[in-house]
Amino acid sequence: MSELLPLFFLFAMGLSLFVYVILDGFDLGIGLLLPLADEREKDVMIASIGPFWDANETWIVLGVGVLLVAFPHAHGIVLTALYIPVTVMLFGLILRGVAFDFRVKAGDARRALWNRAFFAGSLIASLAQGWMLGSYVTGLQDSGTSLAFAALIALTLPALYAMLGGAWLLIKTEYALFDKAVRWCRVAWLPMGLGLLLVSVATPLVSERIAERWFTLPNAIGLLPIPVSCAIAFGAIGWVLNRPRVLHAGYGALVYVCLVVICLMAAIGLAYSIYPDIVIGRMTLYEAAAATGSLQFVFWGVAVTLPLIAGYTVYVYRVFGGKATDLSYE
């Protein structure tokens, strides 16, 4: 039991952060795409995420909460090393929240200001999250190579989020905005793929441990389905985006599904690369875990909270399914 509890909490934390990326990722992507739309389309884009964006951010709260209560030693190391980007991310998320509510309530004269604030908050949060991921993968080091890698992922993540946002619009919108979303996805498709390729090449270069795990036999053969499935999903996205009949027949959701597959494979690959470390090269999850008695106590809270949040998320997406309509605060 003492060995299984840290694994449970690691799974809960990883699942929470993965769900956050694929759900709040399209929220952030909508913010990144907002300046490209006209005024009425901006309202529809905001309406498409209105019922979901608060609930989506719950997942990152759960993930960081699990890190704090289950792995307090790692929490101290990670949050200390990432204090500045975490603060920047929180600033961006707060700016998004304020802009979301004020863009209409402040009146037409100030709407453009809050639209820009919503875009800025989305961009700031996206860049900060990419920097945090890059720093974490390199073991929270301060070397020039690590900083360059963190910057690379910081520039890559917004492209992924923009794709998620565009894919979400393919599900939630129609007519002119739908056609614009198709064009936005086509533009973001290649930069996202190039960014992911560069990250995939750079990751083993900045971490000898990750390189050893991926490029030695028989590991390389067993891990082959991960890059192959990512390549197939990436190609499928390009194929669908260039088939207007397929898109207008209601299969735009395939783009979003393929993006989820890419994110899932990336998450599995990262988990394999760093296990059993929770801070790469510095601390395993067993060394970072709280006392067994504490984990047993917290287990019941997480075991109840995780399904409740998942159930609520599914419920909200079912209730507010269908196409988005014009935004209304009445």
DSSP letters along 63-88, please? Answer: HHHHHHHH-HHHHHHHHHHTHHHHHH
Residue 90 has pLDDT above 90, yes or no: yes
Residue 34 has pLDDT above 90, yes or no: yes
Residue 326 has pLDDT above 70, yes or no: no
Proportion of the chain in helix, strand, coil states, percent, rounded to 5: 85, 0, 15
Given this model, what pLDDT does residue 89 score?
94
Residue 126 has pLDDT above 90, yes or no: yes
In three-state secondary structure terms, 42 is helix
Residue 93 has pLDDT above 60, yes or no: yes
Residue 242 has pLDDT above 80, yes or no: yes
CA proximity to 274, closest of 325, 207, 324 = 207
What's the whole-number mean pLDDT along residues 62-86?
A: 89
- Residue ranges of domains in the chain: 4-319
Confidence of residue 231 (pLDDT cuts 50, 70, 90): very high
Residue 327 has pLDDT above 70, yes or no: no
Given this model, what pLDDT does residue 328 score?
59
pTM of the model: 0.92
**The tokens of 74 are what?**
């790692």
Confidence of residue 1 (pLDDT cuts 50, 70, 90): low
Given this model, what pLDDT does residue 12 score?
92
What's the whole-number mean pLDDT along residues 217-236?
A: 88
Which residues are registered as beta bridge partners of 279? Answer: 283
Q: Would you list the DSSP string of 305-318? A: HHHHHHHHHHHHHH
CA angle 238, 243, 246 (to 5 degrees): 115
**The tokens of 271 are what?**
């988990």
Amino acid at 183: R
